[in-house]
Chain A
Amino acid sequence: MSIIYFLIGCSVMLALFFLAAFFWAQRSGQHDDLYTPSMRILLDDEEEKEPEK
């Protein structure tokens, strides 16, 4: 059952990695604006094309 030590060690490391990733995202401002990207994605890229409607 000593494998538990290893498994728990792995899981904690993995969890810490995700926590670090969250910290990085938070600090680099990825959560500053959570609304605008949802609108931006709906806009077309090429403006020459006449959109329907």
Chain B
Amino acid sequence: MTANSVINKTICYHCGDNILTADYIIEDKHFCCNGCRSVYQVLSANKLCSYYNYNEHPGATRARTDKRFDYLSEPSIISELIDYTDERVTIVTFFIPHIHCSSCLWLLEQLNKINPAVHYCRVDFLKKQLNIRFDHHQLSMQQLVELLDDIGYEPLISLQDIIKKQNAPNRDNLVQKIAVAGFCFGNVMLLSFPEYFGISVHDQSFRQFFGWLNGLFCLPVVLYSGRGYFVSAWQSLRKKVLNIDFPLALGIAVLFIRTAFEILTRTGAGFGDTLCGLVFFLLIGKFVQKKTYHHISFERDYRSFFPVAVHVIEDDKEKPVALSNLKTGHRIMIRNNEIIPADAILLKGEALIDFSFVTGEAAPLAKTLGEIIYAGGRQTGGAIEMEIIKPVSQSYLTQLWNNEAFTRQQDNRAQTFTETVSKYFTIVLLTIAFASLFFWLPTDLKRGFAAFTAVLIVACPCALALSTPFTMSAALSIFDRNLFYLKNTRVVEQMAAIDTIVMDKTGTITTGDADCVKMEADLNAEEKRLIYSVCINSIHPLCRMIYHHLGSNERLKADEYSEVPGKGIIASLAGRRVLLGNAKLVLGCNEPGPQSTKVHLMIDKKYLGYFAFTQHYRDGMEQVAGLSANYDLFMLSGDHDHERYELVKFFKQPGSMYFNQSPQDKLDFIASLQRQHNKVMMLGDGLNDSGALRQSDLGVAVTDNVNNFSPGSDAILDGRSFAKLPAFLQFSKDAVTIIHISFLISLTYNMIGLSYAVTGNLSPLAAAILMPVSTVTIISFTSLATHFMAKRRRLI
């Protein structure tokens, strides 16, 4: 790198991006764009510049500032968004993806300084939410959102508000149940000590007292904390399956009945502390299993990506109409960076559609008048007018969601290990219990029942029920550390069972936005300056890539400048004529054969060469391709096969690459693999992969920014961790092995306990020791083993 370019490299005071022009400077602070500068101006006018002191460059880049929020004046749309309203105030919660540092927190809680109509604002940092209470007489919803946008925090507003739904308060009150169980467990344990250590003969009255107290403490544990197990066991019985909750509920019930019986008949102390401890540990297991990612949603469909409203032209007037009210025949207006919500015909304007959300393809496509444009594309450039030909839910892309893969309950997925085992476990357990009952029954009735209950108590699969949640939650946090976010703990077991991997091409195995610009031209400094100056005028993504590639340069003023849509740019500056564009414009002939995207250059009728935009494969694609040794690897692409030659080094098997695949084709392909009893993992990134992701046994969305849109899936993989995919697959298998081993350990404990129990001589003390010891063994074994395996797979 030359010294010259180092000096030129300044970064934006607001967002930290590299600065390419010297146009935006105030008070010796440099900004990359007008948007960033205007945020600074708003903040400095309100004396809120401490924002920049807490963190360096806390802002988001504001290159796009043409957001329109006038749909927020529609009362029907507003009422969907707000949490509460009365005559004086309105409370609303926004999801703001950009919240990422203490500066964000500080600024967003100072909104009142900018506009006094805001009474209260609170940030929830992990959920990236902002709760605002404001006076809606002085500040409308639209103004509030515009205010947030002005300071660089644009809320994400969509009608499918899953983030909010996901964070809705849990109705099952697990924490409270644990609190009650823990409270009772502690008390019962202390009150049981006298019994275990022995009470002298003249203090026998205490024995009664402690017994009654223990019985009382057991009541809330069984009736409140343990209630869920009875409900679940009953439901599974009605469905004629034996799940893990059945033996658990049986154990809890037997423990309670025997304890109550012993206390009432004054024959013993009962198993109060075992009962409370059991419920307490089981609930803890449930708690660790519930991992929530507050800011990630796995359930998104096209609604969270489409706009809330579009502008419909009626009688030469524009009016925002909510998406659900959009009908065929409506004339709509789509501006720069707006998304086309339904299949429509282009009537007016220059359409340059970016389908990157749908297909992952970065280069935008030019469309001609009268052409049908499919929903999901994003317009880049000027405003266009279109007529809708299909309702939103029936469009080419969105009709995918009408497929049965989205409507049916997902019960076709593999049973987890615990589910498979618990069926047999319950049968064996009941057999042993009844065998010991009938063995003792003819000789000693009391002993028979003692043995029967003791078997059910001791063999209660507490350790079995805990091994999966503790292993899986440890595994989940390992994945989490490596930027791989799993929807729930079941996904780990699904991943271990995978034998076939299907990948999308664009955006999944290639990086979506950082396309490589290759300069196939020998340019001198002056020519570079000319091209830079031409490109900086255009908002076309290819031009933007070129001027980023050329780096900072002096900007020359163009005397003449015109963009030919879909073709290129003709400009003249500094007395020279520059032609920049496709082969048709520059060379006057079509590009020979379908090839990678190129921008040709011509200065003063002299052909200089071209810029080629090659797809850049993700780092680690070689390692991932190495998976073909153990897995069947397939690639599905919506594109033409012009990259077949380059891809063949990754997908060596003949017949493993499929091109020109529609979203429906992808879904059908997965289904056909499944019919051959393959367990299929699908990696995709765009909306067009949604069907395949949903149909597969394990759908993984690959994304470069987890806060951005990603289609509904079982797991979200950050692109930076793509190379670790083989390690992830290995590790999931390790986790399942750990569960198997811990199941064996818990079986050993059960055997020891059972050998006592069948004789009918189980003492409360033995049960009270055995249960926690087995639990602690399982918990420590699973966490240590998971940690060890993660280290071996180099995931920590």
Contact of B180 with A35 in the complex, beta carbons under 8 Å: no
A27 to B348, CA, bound (A): 56
Q: Which residues of B contact A10 (CB under 8 A)?
A: none
- Separation in Å of the A4 CB from the closest CB of chain B? 7
Given contacts A19-B179, A44-B50, 14 further A-B contacts (CB under 8 A): A4-B206, A8-B213, A12-B187, A12-B213, A31-B175, A33-B125, A35-B125, A36-B105, A36-B123, A36-B126, A39-B125, A43-B102, A47-B110, A51-B54
- Separation in Å of the A25 CB from the closest CB of chain B? 10
Q: Give a binary string over B184-199; 1 marks a CB under 8 Å from any A CB, 0 the rest.
A: 0011000100000000
A19 to B209, CA, bound (A): 22
Contact of B125 with A36 in the complex, beta carbons under 8 Å: yes
- Separation in Å of the A41 CB from the closest CB of chain B? 10
- What is the number of residues of chain B that contact chain A, defined by CB distance less than 8 Å? 28
Q: Which residues of A contact B47 (CB under 8 A)?
A: 47-48
Query: Contacts A23-B176, A31-B175 known; A36 to B183 CB distance under 8 Å?
Result: no
Does any Cβ of A come within 8 Å of B641's Cβ? no
- Separation in Å of the B287 CB from the closest CB of chain A? 13
Contact of A5 with B176 in the complex, beta carbons under 8 Å: no
Contact of B102 with A39 in the complex, beta carbons under 8 Å: yes
Interface of B is mostly: helix
- Can you list 7 pairs linking A and B with CB atoms under 8 Å apart? A15-B187, A26-B179, A33-B126, A36-B123, A39-B125, A42-B102, A43-B106
Chain B contacts with A in 87-107, Cβ cutoff 8 A: 102, 105-106
- Separation in Å of the B55 CB from the closest CB of chain A? 11
Q: Which residues of A contact B50 (CB under 8 A)?
A: 44, 47, 51
Which bracket fits the contact residues of A?
Answer: 20 to 34
Contact of B183 with A19 in the complex, beta carbons under 8 Å: yes
- Separation in Å of the A47 CB from the closest CB of chain B? 5
What total count of A-B pairs have CB within 8 Å?
Answer: 56
- Separation in Å of the B40 CB from the closest CB of chain A? 15
A39 to B124, CA, bound (A): 11
The 3 closest A-B pairs by CB, nearest first: A36-B125, A47-B50, A43-B106
Chain A contacts with B in 8-35, Cβ cutoff 8 A: 8, 12, 15, 19, 22-23, 26, 31-33, 35
- Separation in Å of the A7 CB from the closest CB of chain B? 12
Q: Which residues of B contact A44 (CB under 8 A)?
A: 50
Q: Which residues of A contact B186 (CB under 8 A)?
A: 15
Contact of A26 with B126 in the complex, beta carbons under 8 Å: no
Contact of A33 with B102 in the complex, beta carbons under 8 Å: no
A36 to B122, CA, bound (A): 9
Q: Which residues of B contact A4 (CB under 8 A)?
A: 206
Contact of A43 with B105 in the complex, beta carbons under 8 Å: yes
Contact of A43 among B54, B126, B180, B213 (CB under 8 A): B54
Chain B contacts with A in 403-452, Cβ cutoff 8 A: none
Q: Which residues of B contact A51 (CB under 8 A)?
A: 50, 53-54
- Separation in Å of the B187 CB from the closest CB of chain A? 6
Q: Which residues of A contact B770 (CB under 8 A)?
A: none
A44 to B106, CA, bound (A): 9
Residue of B50, B105, B213 ringed by the most chain A CB atoms within 10 A:
B50
- Separation in Å of the A6 CB from the closest CB of chain B? 12
Closest partner residue, chain B, to A27 (CB atom): B176
Contact of A33 among B48, B124, B183, B187 (CB under 8 A): B124
Query: Contacts A43-B102, A44-B50, A47-B48 known; A22 to B125 CB distance under 8 Å?
Result: no
Does any Cβ of A come within 8 Å of B28's Cβ? no
Q: Which residues of B contact A33 (CB under 8 A)?
A: 124-127
A40 to B106, CA, bound (A): 7
Q: Give a binary string over B136-177; 1 marks a CB under 8 Å from any A CB, 0 the rest.
A: 000000000000000000000000000000000000000110
Does any Cβ of A come within 8 Å of B315's Cβ? no
Q: Which residues of B contact A5 (CB under 8 A)?
A: 209
A36 to B295, CA, bound (A): 14
Query: Contacts A12-B187, A39-B125 known; A26 to B54 CB distance under 8 Å?
Result: no
Contact of B176 with A26 in the complex, beta carbons under 8 Å: yes
Closest partner residue, chain A, to B51 (CB atom): A47
Contact of B183 with A15 in the complex, beta carbons under 8 Å: yes
A40 to B486, CA, bound (A): 30
Contact of A53 with B102 in the complex, beta carbons under 8 Å: no
Contact of B105 with A22 in the complex, beta carbons under 8 Å: no
Does any Cβ of A come within 8 Å of B203's Cβ? yes
A31 to B126, CA, bound (A): 13
Q: Which residues of B contact A42 (CB under 8 A)?
A: 102
Closest partner residue, chain A, to B56 (CB atom): A53
Contact of A1 with B175 in the complex, beta carbons under 8 Å: no
Contact of A22 among B106, B179, B191, B203 (CB under 8 A): B179
A51 to B109, CA, bound (A): 18
Chain B contacts with A in 66-123, Cβ cutoff 8 A: 102, 105-106, 109-110, 122-123
Closest partner residue, chain B, to A47 (CB atom): B50
Q: Which residues of B contact A12 (CB under 8 A)?
A: 187, 213
- Separation in Å of the A30 CB from the closest CB of chain B? 12
A32 to B294, CA, bound (A): 12
Contact of A23 with B183 in the complex, beta carbons under 8 Å: no
- Separation in Å of the A34 CB from the closest CB of chain B? 8
Q: Which residues of B contact A40 (CB under 8 A)?
A: 105, 109
Closest partner residue, chain A, to B175 (CB atom): A26
Q: Which residues of B contact A48 (CB under 8 A)?
A: 47
Closest partner residue, chain A, to B50 (CB atom): A47
Closest partner residue, chain B, to A36 (CB atom): B125
Q: Which residues of B contact A39 (CB under 8 A)?
A: 102, 105, 125
Contact of B124 among A1, A8, A36, A53 (CB under 8 A): A36
A22 to B176, CA, bound (A): 8
A44 to B103, CA, bound (A): 11
A31 to B179, CA, bound (A): 13
Closest partner residue, chain A, to B124 (CB atom): A33
Closest partner residue, chain A, to B206 (CB atom): A4
Chain B contacts with A in 195-240, Cβ cutoff 8 A: 203, 206, 209, 213
Closest partner residue, chain A, to B182 (CB atom): A19
Closest partner residue, chain B, to A46 (CB atom): B50
A15 to B183, CA, bound (A): 8
A4 to B183, CA, bound (A): 20
Closest partner residue, chain A, to B110 (CB atom): A47
A31 to B287, CA, bound (A): 15
Query: Contacts A1-B203, A47-B50, A48-B47 known; A23 to B179 CB distance under 8 Å?
Result: yes
Q: Which residues of A contact B53 (CB under 8 A)?
A: 50-51, 53
A1 to B671, CA, bound (A): 75
- Separation in Å of the A45 CB from the closest CB of chain B? 10
A50 to B125, CA, bound (A): 25
